[in-house]
Amino acid sequence: MPKVLPVPTGGSARGRTRRVATTLAEINVIPLVDVMLVLLIIFMVTAPMLQRGVELKLPQLRRAEEISSERMFVDVPL
């Protein structure tokens, strides 16, 4: 929050205050480091699991009956 300082009495001092803008020139890197460490741990745990793979039981292929080539017409009443 910016600091509020009174205006010096030498100029136009009508009871107003002057706001001094303070800028934050530093970036807080502690949360960034925390997030990066958590992501590093997650990747270190999941990487060996991806190397092994997962055993899947896939369905076997079987032949379907041949589709007849006759056209079928359907009338829909309105």
pLDDT confidence of 28, banded at 50, 70, 90?
A: confident
Residue 34 falls inside a structural domain: yes
Residue 5 falls inside a structural domain: no
Total domains in the chain come to 1
How distant is the alpha carbon of residue 75 from its chain centre?
Answer: 52
- Residue ranges making up the domain that contains 33: 25-52
Residues 5-19 pLDDT 10s: 666 665 555 556 666
> Is the overall model pTM greater than 0.75, yes or no?
no
DSSP the chain: --EEEEPPTTS--SS-EEEEP----S---HHHHHHHHHHHHHHHHHHHHHHH-----PPPP-PPPPPP----------
Residues 34-78 pLDDT 10s: 999 999 999 999 888 887 777 889 888 788 777 777 888 889 998
Q: List Cα–Cα distances, 58 to 17, 55, 61, 63, in angstroms.
A: 76, 10, 9, 16
